[in-house]
Amino acid sequence: MKLFGNRGALRKSLNAICHSKHSGRACSTYVSNETLRCAQGDRRWSIRHSERSEESSIFGDSSVVSLPQNDINCAGFSRGLNRWSAVFLLFLIVTVLLLAQTTLTAEKRYVGTIVAVVNDKIITEREVHRRAAVVIGDAIKKYKGEELQRRANEILTEVLNELIDRQLLVQKAHSIIDENPFVMDEIEKDLDAFVDEAVDEVGSLSKFYEIAIKDGINPTEKKMELKDDLMVERLLQDFVYGKISISPKDVREYYQEHRDEFVLEGSVKMAQIMLKFSSYPSEEETWKKAEEIRDRALKGEDFKALVEEFSEGPRASKGGVWEFDEVLILRENIRRAALGLEKGEISEIVETGNGLHILMAEDVRLIKETDFAELQGQIKSRLFKQKTTKKKREYINKLKKNAVIRIVKAAK
């Protein structure tokens, strides 16, 4: 991190201090393009100026302190020069301090509060908040007061830990991949392809930047993040994921231990007619209309036509149809009535708090245990995901043992 923004100006300022006054020996001090030489023994001073300027200043073109152009004899002006030297030195010290303070303030505004240091890389509070924004936004909708504060603190802590893990992986990836031009070239191509695809989706590069800036995203920073992500993915593929294997024995054992999870639950696909109490003068009138509709259905009228004519349910525009898995999550009295139907059978009238329902089973699905051969791919994917999570954590923990990690302050 640079402590000062303008090293050139600072170096010129510091070079302007002549220490020979107290040391008792000759010294040379350089101010901009001029040379100031002094020899304390014979008290002679001379100033040589550059040919291109009429005046010399300790801060380049600014005219803060300037010296005359001709040579000066030290003996005739020793008292005046001594006073000038003291004023100059005081001015110089104040200027340097102000320069340092201004630069530090500017850098603090740019970097933000540091919350953690991973080896030689910092993590700022701004980064944590940016990563946590969406999750905290969801928490604001669900919680209030102390519970919201507690949940927000948990989220920020989790995100900080994730950023520490990511920084460890990024550093490791760079230490390996930066020295491999072939792999780096592949990553650069993948990165360009990713950006090109994103640009194509919005229409043009200018539109891409416009949307990014509108959403508060720095396109350059985002591209660097994506490059790091690609490097980390390559690192994990070579050193973690590529070493994981799932044997047929693993798949078979998992199936035997989790057999209940692969049983296909019995259900029905049904059509529904719903009449709302609020649409009729009274509940009695609603019941009367429902019984009339059910009688017509029992006599053979097309159930879908009756749905279109009378139903006020949420699926009325789709024929009142509920699929097998959807039926399983309906309210209990409707679900129980539906699951007791045979294919083509019409239910009794079912009452709920807001109306009456008539159901018809279009199809029935019996309880079925899925065949092992159909499940092998699914089980293998599940096992691979479990193992990658475990192995990735082990790899990160190994990196942590050789890293210097310091939590400066909790993110708030």
226 exposed, middle or buried (CB, 10 Å; 0-12, 13-18, 19+)? Answer: middle
Closest CA to 14 of 26, 40, 32: 32
Tokens standing for residue 101: 């303070």
- Domain(s) labelled CATH 3.10.50.40 in the chain stretch across 266-366
Q: Which pLDDT score is estimated for 73?
A: 45
Q: What is the dihedral of CA 208, 212, 213, 219, to 10 degrees?
A: -90
Q: Which pLDDT score is estimated for 91?
A: 60
- Low pLDDT (below 50) residues in the chain: 1-78, 81, 100, 102-111
Closest CA to 235 of 26, 23, 62, 392: 392
Handedness of CA 278, 283, 286, 291 (dihedral sign): positive
Q: Which pLDDT score is estimated for 98?
A: 53
pLDDT digits (tens, 9 = 90+) for 357-371: 999 999 999 887 788
Strand order of the β-sheet with 350-352 is 321-322, 267-276, 355-365, 350-352
Q: Which pLDDT score is estimated for 90?
A: 59
Q: Which pLDDT score is estimated for 66?
A: 37
Q: Which pLDDT score is estimated for 96?
A: 52
Q: Which pLDDT score is estimated for 86?
A: 58
Coil, strand or helix: which one is 282? coil
pLDDT digits (tens, 9 = 90+) for 137-175: 999 998 999 999 999 999 999 999 999 999 999 999 999
For the domain 266-366, what is the CATH code? 3.10.50.40
Give the number of other Cβ atoms within 10 Å of residue 156's Cβ: 21
Coil, strand or helix: which one is 25? coil
Coil, strand or helix: which one is 71? coil
Q: Which pLDDT score is estimated for 405?
A: 94
Q: Which pLDDT score is estimated for 89?
A: 58
Q: What is the pTM of this model?
A: 0.53
Q: What is the 3-state secondary structure (H, E, C) of 115-141?
A: EEEECCEEEEHHHHHHHHHHHHHHHHH
